[in-house]
Structure 1
């Protein structure tokens, strides 16, 4: 099952370049790999340094994310119980996909496959996608590990309630916030979604990317606010590293200016994430 998920992810990504001409430049693959590896490393550093350059709009967006996550937090126990009750009605194949795809080992198996395919074929656009996937997963993955430890939020399965926090507790039952499965899976989905112009295809890719995070809620491993904040980190990380890679590679997605924003919507009986692109 793990290999099947990884292969499907690789085929989906490579399929976006099926109509691209694969150019065989004279540059050696080893030189390409060294260049790409440096960009992966620098891309991670760039994403961490961006808050130092934020201005009013970016800080306002961060405030909106914090406020939105806080609003979801207020209803975490109710939403968690509701989602858990839906678990038995979810097809087994979707539940299994949700559990396996968001794990770090499966994530890097899939993203490395995308990059290697681009390196072997000397396809710059596919290489760049692999660099974006690996750098984004590395950056966001490390950040969520730090946050899990610092925040020390109890998981629903610990049965301590949503307001229980024990920072730096090594017990995994206190590593709820944010959701690692949600973060890695949606990071991949958001990066892949950039390859498409159609909002319907983007929505489909984002839905597939959201399933692993939601599956962790119905398994009692995370609250909804853990999922929401993870999605926010995913979007911010991919956008940041993608902008950095624009300066390093000639191939750009869809040749369009990046104007992406997202907001949390709340209302009576309503909760949603709106992504504008």
Structure 2
């Protein structure tokens, strides 16, 4: 445990003491995630440059993908749209994170508590980063009728319909799904959870709330945030997730963008 003292390492603790420790873990995790770039080496900066370049390439196809979506918007079931637009909103995601954490707290399950801490810290980190980004860039949403390359940058206040990049629903919903999937070893269960986590991003494209690149970056950001925080939580909790990692490899080539997943 690298000398780290945890509630489990110094005897039976009250629920209040455990709760304070876990909320401290949430705060420390958020701080760790935001300061982590100061520790990046060459490989991490190269990966970051690749994500920036890949996202820039995706923006070139955003208008075409939005027009292509016109052909099937009306065919998407209303319950799917409701899940993506309402159930998976920030309030719903934070409620899910809280439910997972408090369940683990009251049944005294450290692994479940850690999952809740991971979800809460990742949601806070992703939410703050997304809110800052939308104000700095001020990208128009598809529903405005403007092109994907329309920006009104450096907005001190959030302006509705000019807060598209990147997708907050996606970074929260897929981040939670990714954190929950860490509980399981089966690639099929993981894939099923990932699929559910991707529904909100898909529906945001369908209802013209986001461009495809907004959702793609939100997905990538959620993975990076969860992985970074989960690595930090190894020093705070005795319980670890299964040792078999999921490797996500991004590849870019002229006219081609790839995402390879290895279980």
User: TM-score w.r.t. structure 1 length?
Assistant: 0.86
Q: More displaced, 68-77 or 195-204?
A: 195-204
Write out aligned runs for 1:104-253 (5 A). 104-169=90-155, 170-253=158-241
Asked if 1:34 corresponds to 2:20, the answer is: yes
SS in 1 for 2:250: strand
* Residue 261 of structure 1, aligned match among 230, 240, 248: 248
SS in 2 for 1:85: coil
Write out aligned runs for 1:14-33 (5 A). 26-33=12-19
The alpha-carbon distance between structure 1 residues 204 and 84, as it changes in their structure 2 partners (threshold 3 A), is farther
The alpha-carbon distance between structure 1 residues 264 and 215, as it changes in their structure 2 partners (threshold 3 A), is farther
Contact in 2 for aligned 1:87/1:218 (Cα 8 Å): yes
* Residue 65 of structure 1, aligned match among 45, 48, 51: 51
Contact in 2 for aligned 1:264/1:273 (Cα 8 Å): yes
Deviation at 1:264, TM superposition (A): 4.8
The alpha-carbon distance between structure 1 residues 78 and 204, as it changes in their structure 2 partners (threshold 3 A), is same
Contact in 2 for aligned 1:265/1:274 (Cα 8 Å): no
Deviation at 1:265, TM superposition (A): 6.0
For structure 1, list consecutive stretches of 5 or more residues without a partner in the other structure.
1-24
Q: Give me the CA root mean square deviation.
A: 1.8
Q: More displaced, 95-104 or 150-159?
A: 95-104
SS in 2 for 1:115: helix
Q: Identify the structure with the greater helix proportion.
A: 1
For the residues of structure 1 that align with 2:69 and 2:57, how far apart are their CA atoms?
Answer: 17
For structure 2, list consecutive stretches of 5 or more residues without a partner in the other structure.
1-10
Q: More displaced, 160-169 or 144-153?
A: 160-169
Query: Which residue of structure 1 lines up, in the alignment, with residue 8 of structure 2?
Result: none
Query: Which residue of structure 1 lines up, in the alignment, with residue 86 of structure 2?
Result: 100
